[in-house]
Structure 1
Amino acid sequence: MLEKLLELGQPLSMLWLILGDFNCVKSPAKKQLGVAPTYNPIWCKFDPVLLNNEWLEVILHYGAHFSPRGCLSSHSLGIDSIFDHLTPKTKSFRFSTMWANHPNFIVIVEDGWSLNVESTPQFNLCRKLKALKSSIKAFNSLHFSHISVRAKKVDIALQDAQLQLESNPGNAAL
C-alpha cells in the first residue's frame, strides 16, 4: 500500500500529507498471512503519517497528539497540527507604574544611572539604559512575578486570620 501511495504522490509538486489508521483491513483475506483479524483490545498504536519531500523544503512543522484510547475501542482521538515555526519575538521593554511605588525602585534606577562609561553621550545613554533594563527585569522578577500565586497565598492567610478572629473575638493580638 505504501508503494502505491508513493507512486500516486510522485507527480504532485504540492505538499501532501496522509494520515490515518493504516492497521485496518477491508476483509480477513487482506490481513497478512490470511489470519482473521481479532477484535481483542490492541495495546499498541500504529497511526503513521506519510508526507512528501516538499514538506522538508518549506518551513512548516507537523505535530500529532493522541488521546488515550476509548474503553470500547482500540481507537483514540488524534489531534494534528500544522504550523509555521516562528522564532519568538523578543518583548519590548515597557515601564510598569507599579515599580515606582516600590521603596527600592529609586535605588535600582540610581545605581543603573550612576554607571560610569567613557564614550560619546549617545553610547553612554544606550549603555546605561541597557544596564538599567536588566536590573529592572531582575527587580520585577523578584518582587512582582507570579502575582496570582502570591494573591492566592495572601487570600488563604486572610481567610485563616478571619477564622482565628472569629473563634477568639477577645484576643487583642489577632
Structure 2
Amino acid sequence: MRLLKFDEAISNETDGGKIWVFWKNELDVQVVRMSSQFVSLCITEGSNHFLGNFIYAKCNRLERQLLWEELNSDKRDVEPCLFAGDFNVIRSDIERCGGRPRNRVAIDEFNRWIHQGGLLEMNSQGGKFTWCNGQQGLSRAWAKLDRVLLDANFLSLFPTAHCLYLPRTTSDHCPMVIEFLSDPFSYGSPPFRFQQMWVEHPDFMTFVQNVWSESVIGSGLFKLATKLKKLKVALRVWNKSVFGRTYNQIAILEDKIENLENLLQRGWDDDIERELVRSSNELSSWRIREDIRLAQIAKIKWRMDGDRNTKFFHVWLSNKKHRKIHQLRTSNGLEFNSPEEIHLWSC
C-alpha cells in the first residue's frame, strides 16, 4: 500500500474473498457490507457520494445466486449505485467465443437481477471480450466477464462516466479503468520538455548541429530565439520518430493481435494461429523496451538488473501526474482558482 501511494485499504479476506480496495484520504470511505463475493462501500468526495460495489463472483452458479440476493438492498433506491468487477457470467452468447456453451439458466438469472434493479451498462471502450483462458489453438476461449453496471441515480450524478478496457498483459483478464470526470488539465498542447535520454543517442549532436546551422536573418537575440524555437519544433518530431516508436509499435501490435484474435474467433486457421503467437512474442519484447523508457521518465534507477516491472513504473508516473497545481496566489495578491485560470495567466 505504501509503494502504491494509497492511504487506506479494505479486503474481504477474512470472509473468504479475494477483493482489495485501496483509496486516498481525499475520499471518505465507509464499509457498508461485504461477503466472500463483494465489498460494498459508501464513497464520498465533497458533495458527491455513491454506493460502490466491487464484485468478484464465484464460478459456481448456486454461489452466484446468493450474490444476487445479497446485492439486493433498500439503499439501491436512494443512493447512486455502481457495480464493477468480475461477474464470472455473460449476458448472452454473443459475449463469448470458443469453449463450452454457457449455462443458460445462469445467464437468465444474471439478466433478471440486472433488470429488476434497473441497472444499465456503463459506456465502454476497448475489446469486445475481457477474459481469455490463455490456451492455444482450438482450446482458446474468450468471454466478457468483467463489466460496470450503474443505476439511474449514478448516471445523473456522473453523466460522462465511462469505462475503458485495457489490453491483457500478465493476467487472463483485461484491466478496467473507470473515469468519472474529464481531466481539467487536458486543454492546450503539452509543454516542451527536454529529455535527458536524447543526449545519449548517437545521432543527437549531429541532429542539433544540422538544425542550428540553418541560416536565420536578424539581430543576435532574434536569431537566438528563432533558432531555439526551430530546434524545439524539430526535437518534438525527432523524439516522436525515434523514441516515441516504442509506444507506437506496441499500439500497432496490440491492434494486430486483436484483429488476429477476431479472425480466430470466426474460424480456426493454422497460419493465423502461428502469426498470433509470433506477434504476441514480438509484443512482449516491445513492452520490455517500454518498461525501460518508463523508468527513464520516472527518474528511478533499477534496483535489480533485469527487473522489468511495468506496473511499478506506471505507479510512479501516475503519482507524478497527480502532483499538479489547482490553485495559485501570486506575490501581488492575485488568486487563480482553477487549472485553466492558471494556464491562461501564464500564457
Name the TM-score class by shorter chain.
0.3 to 0.5
Higher-strand-fraction structure: 2
Give me the TM-score of the superposition, normalised by structure 1.
0.41
**Length-normalised TM-score, structure 2:** 0.23
Q: Which of structures 1 and 2 has the bigger CA Rg? A: 1
Higher relative contact order (CA 8 A, sep 6+): 1
